[in-house]
Amino acid sequence: MASVAEVDHFSHLPDAIIHRIFSFLPFKDVVKTSMLSKQWRFAWTSTPYIDLSLRSEGVVPSISRALSLCTATKIEKFHLDANVISTEIDWWLHFAAARKVEDFSLVFREWHHFIPRLLWDSPWLVSLRVSKCLFPWNITVHWPSLKKLCLQELLLKKDQIMKILSGCPVLESLELRSMSMFACDLQIESRYLRELVIEAVRISSINISVPNLLSLRLWGELIVGGVRLNGFENEDYPELCDFDEKQYWPSQKEFYCVANNLKRVEIAGFELDNEKSKLLLALAKFLLEKAVGLEKMILDAELRMSCQGLPIDPHDLGDLHDVIQLQEGCRRASRNAEVIVNYHFNGLPHEL
């Protein structure tokens, strides 16, 4: 009878389990599994999961050789995080696009890179994340299956983002991060969208018409409906607003993204006792009064520094009364709405 030590279950795992293991590993470690046993020698070549981290040009040739040996006809996940630029990267991206990639992530740290043309028309794409990438001016995308889209640090001209969104008819999650589009009037209309994140985005105006939105997160430098919510100096006001911005939210009769389905709102990146924070508080009050299905609102407030280098006690700030009113006395459309205020100093939690 064979001892436990002599039984080798590892070498005879089904391909589905082997590929599942590969899905948790960076591509360089997937290739290293060829050393485990004879049965694993070529298992990595059929992996549908490729996660690449490019920190130096020296590894480019070895990555290209490894990809040339890959036989998978369908790529479920292709992620690239690059600190350098190489002409070989274009081939890698075409490799993924030609194999009907479903989950595609392209993150550049230092330089911008063009989205491959083969990816513009991809009926298989389900999730797409791009950072520091370039879209041609005349781009027309066709992503009928795309459910999750994250655009970060992009250089977009007027109306380009609208062209992109128009090619995503079943989009469920949209993230816009660290982008400047002052010439763009952003209109988001979708009956499928469930999650919307707008973080450190500067645009001229935004109109949200999303009846089934469940989660809304606003953070950082943001202009909504022509109103700057945070991150701009006072001298910027005249060129951005042609109305009394303090009265903007109270004057709104309805807000189309606020329906029975909106359950969670996060607003972050503002300081108490600050003119811009008053706009954020006005927005928070407006949402509390309109969102009949709201369950939780989270406000992240950054405390300013005193002359002694210590955080100013929120009790000494004039806006604290408005915050307490939001938590306790503000009229709410939803009886179940909970308002949570988190105070931070230099990024660290601070208790009252």
pLDDT tens figures, 283-299: 788 888 888 888 888 88
- Give me the half-sphere count of Cα atoms (radius 13 Å) on the Cβ side of residue 342: 13
Using CA atoms, how far residue 74 sits from 52, 69, 117, 167, in Å, is 17, 14, 19, 23
More confident residue, 246 or 34: 34
Cα–chain center distance at 136: 21
Cα 126 vs. chain centroid, distance in angstroms? Answer: 15
Q: Catalogue the E-assigned strands of the chain.
A: 49-54, 77-82, 103-108, 113-114, 127-131, 133-134, 148-152, 173-189, 195-209, 215-224, 227-230, 264-271, 296-302, 338-345, 348-350
3-state secondary structure of 27: helix
- In this structure, of 39-53, 132-146, 147-161, 337-351, the range with the lowest mean pLDDT score is 337-351
Higher pLDDT, 11 or 177: 177
Classify 156 as helix, strand or coil: coil
Which of 9-18, 61-70, 104-113 is the most confident on average? Answer: 61-70
State the CB neighbour count (10 A cutoff) for residue 281: 21
Rg (CA), the chain: 25
Listed range (117-131, 157-171, 320-334) with the worst mean pLDDT: 320-334
Of 108-112, 221-225, 307-311, 337-341, the range with the lowest mean pLDDT is 221-225
What are the φ and ψ backbone dihedral angles of 308, each rounded to 5 degrees?
-85, 5
Which of 129, 84, 134, 130 is CA-nearest to residue 109? 84
Chain centroid to CA 29: how far?
A: 27
Burial call 47-63: b when 16+ CB within 10 Å, e when fewer: bbbbbbebeeeebbeeb
Mean pLDDT confidence for 3-12: 61
Alpha carbon separation from 46 to 17, 23, 71, 104, 204 (Å, rounded): 13, 12, 5, 18, 47
**Average of per-residue pLDDT across 185-201:** 79
pTM: 0.74
- What is the pLDDT at residue 250? 61
CA distance 195 to 300: 19
285, 330 contact by CB (below 8 A): yes
299-314 burial code (b ≥16 CB/10 A, e <16): bbbbbeeeeeeebbeb
